[in-house]
Amino acid sequence: LCQKQSPEHKTIIEVGGTKIGQDLTVIAGPCSVESEKQTVETAIGVKEGGATMLRGGAFKPRTSPYAFQGLGLEGLKILRTASRETGLPVVTEVLDPRDVSWVCEYADILQVGTRNMQNFSLLKEVGRANKPVLLKRGMHSTINEWLYCAEYILAEGNKDVILCERGIRTFETYTRNTLDLSAVQAVLELSHLPIIVDPSHATGLLSMIEPMSLAAFAAGADGITVEVHCKPEEAMCDKAQALSIPMFKRMMARINKLNECM
Ligand code: PEP
Ligand code: MN
């Protein structure tokens, strides 16, 4: 189902005003929803910069069980407020199959994170949901395994899947993960599903977000998802990779320039 049938075959997913797979998609926002002030301020900033969607985690898959786990329902309500203030649709992660149906009341796109890529009960559940799904590549997964996971969702009847390359684990330790940009071209060749890139989790390094975002668009990606915080130094999660709002705006100016000549 996720296989490309002809060179023109492409899935276009309309969310809010944007057509993912056709228009340039820029999903931006904090790693996690920390407060209404932080989320609304960041949402206004990324909207001004030209983002097309707001991201933010209410359920955080943290390495340590003692780290901040997210605000849950309160976080989802804050995301709705930020969406109302800016008009930006909301992309947010769902961790547990039992939460899918009610998280749909708050999310415009359901995100399945790298750690859950092969959580087949979660995939089946989001496959039965009436919201598009952003499926991140498993950090230990091949492109083929990733496409099979998209297949799980499509097979349940949900045709709106967006793939997201977010870096894979290699022997390299300089970056948080290794961004596999060639996965963009591989997906363009193999599948009709939109493909976006997450340079924030792929690199974990502030200095690399802009060059890897530009590289993603140059490689033919349909969009990017990036972490932005109104006060990066205070971020409760993924501080080292959070763009400030001015940095995001500068990056967007360069992205727009690049896309003009493509
Ligand atoms: C995220 O986007 O918030 C996230 C946790 O990313 P990943 O699943 O790619 O680590
Ligand atoms: Mn993060």
- Dihedral angle sign, alpha carbons of residues 94, 233, 258, 23: positive
Cα distances (angstroms) measured from residue 134 to each of 28, 35, 112, 233: 14, 24, 6, 28
Per the document, the length of the chain is 262
Looking at residue 58, what is its pLDDT? 98
- AA letter at 49: G
Looking at residue 250, what is its pLDDT? 98
Report ipTM (2 d.p.): 0.99
Please give the distance, rounded to the nearest whole angstrom, from the Cα atom of residue 60 to the centre of ligand 1.
8
> Is 93 near ligand 1, meaning CB less than 6 Å away?
yes
- Angle, vertex CA 194, rays to CA 94 and CA 103, nearest 5: 20
> Is 166 near ligand 1, meaning CB less than 6 Å away?
yes
Looking at residue 262, what is its pLDDT? 87
Tell me the whole-structure pTM to 2 decimals. Answer: 0.98
Phi, psi of 256 (to 5 degrees): -65, -40
pLDDT single digits (tens) 97-117: 999 999 999 999 999 999 999
Determine if residue 257 is left, alpha or beta; phi over 0 gives left, psi from -120 to 50 gives alpha, anything else beta.
alpha
Q: Could you write out the DSSP letters of every residue in 161-174? A: EEEEE--B--S--S
pLDDT single digits (tens) 169-215: 999 999 999 999 999 999 999 999 999 999 999 999 999 999 999 99
Question: Ligand 1 atom 8: the closest Cα is on which residue?
Answer: 113
> Is 131 near ligand 1, meaning CB less than 6 Å away?
no
Ordered by where they begin, the domains of the chain are 13-260 (3.20.20.70)
Question: Residue 111 burial by CB count (10 A; 0-12/13-18/19+): exposed, middle or buried?
Answer: buried
> Is 176 near ligand 1, meaning CB less than 6 Å away?
no
